[in-house]
């Protein structure tokens, strides 16, 4: 049986780990997954880190195809929206409408988000809402979601954090509250897609995992974790 190595964006981790467990039980193959941000995945693959499969946003996979780091078919894992969080016990900000969301951000003491796909979108969103300058002095950004979760859960002031909805929901036992998704009019979904790397090893088992991701069983597991398939 094969021992596959997967390098994946962290946002899909909550549902993907359950899919991996099911795949391993049904096929007997091993699959070792490492999770990182999209910029980190780009860097690690570019430096030649060994992996048989990659899960990342389509734009990153496009770049990896151009540099011949990935090859073959793509399978859509699903899409994930942006969510709002506060620490457990904190007052919930109003975010039902765009106006409420904007006022809550201007009223908060601190805004916390990452430097990955979510953070890139939020930068453009805040500029579009005309509040980028007001938020600049009270914004803290981190390379990954784990640091954002840690900051918000241990915060002392009135703070609002952002992250992938899947990651926030999974962190409910870490002193965090999921306030809700961004208002529909300004929501942004990041799609995550799986692809094999150009590494010629374990080609058939890697292709088998891609096929498993497309099954109804895998889609149901992902949907339960909040990944829309």
CATH 3.40.190.10 location in the chain: 3-80+191-224, 82-186
Fold category of 3-80+191-224 in CATH: D-Maltodextrin-Binding Protein; domain 2 (3.40.190)
Which three-class secondary structure string do you get for 130-166? CCHHHHHCCEEEECCHHHHHHHHHCCCCCEEEEEEHH
pLDDT at 56: 95
Q: pTM for the full model?
A: 0.79
Rounded Cα distance between 71 and 99, Å, is 44
Beta-ladder partners of 78: 192
pLDDT tens-digit profile, the chain (229 residues): 779 999 999 889 989 999 999 999 999 999 999 999 888 999 999 898 889 999 999 999 999 999 999 989 999 999 999 999 999 999 999 999 999 999 999 999 999 999 988 899 999 999 999 999 999 999 999 998 899 999 999 998 899 999 999 989 888 888 999 999 999 999 999 899 999 998 777 899 999 999 999 999 999 999 888 898 7
- Pairing assessment for the beta strands 70-80 and 3-9 based on DSSP bridges: unpaired
Length of the chain: 229
Strand partners, 30: 3
CATH fold of the domain at 82-186: D-Maltodextrin-Binding Protein; domain 2 (3.40.190)
Q: To which H or E segment does residue 141 belong?
A: strand 139-142
């Amino acid at each position: 049986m094969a021992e596959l190595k997967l390098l994946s964006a962290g946002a899909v981790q909550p549902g993907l780990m359950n899919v991996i467990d099911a795949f391993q039980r049904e096929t007997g193959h091993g699959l070792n997954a490492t999770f990182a941000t999209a910029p980190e995945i780009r860097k690690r693959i570019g430096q030649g880190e060994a992996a048989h499969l990659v899960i990342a946003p389509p734009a990153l996979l496009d770049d990896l195809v151009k540099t011949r780091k990935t090859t073959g078919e793509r399978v859509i894992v699903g899409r994930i929206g942006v969510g709002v969080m506060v620490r457990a016990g904190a007052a919930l900000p109003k975010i039902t409408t765009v106006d409420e969301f904007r006022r809550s951000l201007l009223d908060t003491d601190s805004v916390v988000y990452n430097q990955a796909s979510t953070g890139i979108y939020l930068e453009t969103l805040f500029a579009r809402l005309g509040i980028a300058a007001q938020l600049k002095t009270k914004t803290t950004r981190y390379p990954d979601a784990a640091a954002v979760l840690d900051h918000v859960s241990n915060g002392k002031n009135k703070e609002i954090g952002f992250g992938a909805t899947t990651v926030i929901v999974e962190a409910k036992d870490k002193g965090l509250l999921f306030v809700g998704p961004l208002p529909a009019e300004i929501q942004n979904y990041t799609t995550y897609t799986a692809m094999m790397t150009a590494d010629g090893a374990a080609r058939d088992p890697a292709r088998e995992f891609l096929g498993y991701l497309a099954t109804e069983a895998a889609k149901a597991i992902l949907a339960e974790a909040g990944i829309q398939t």
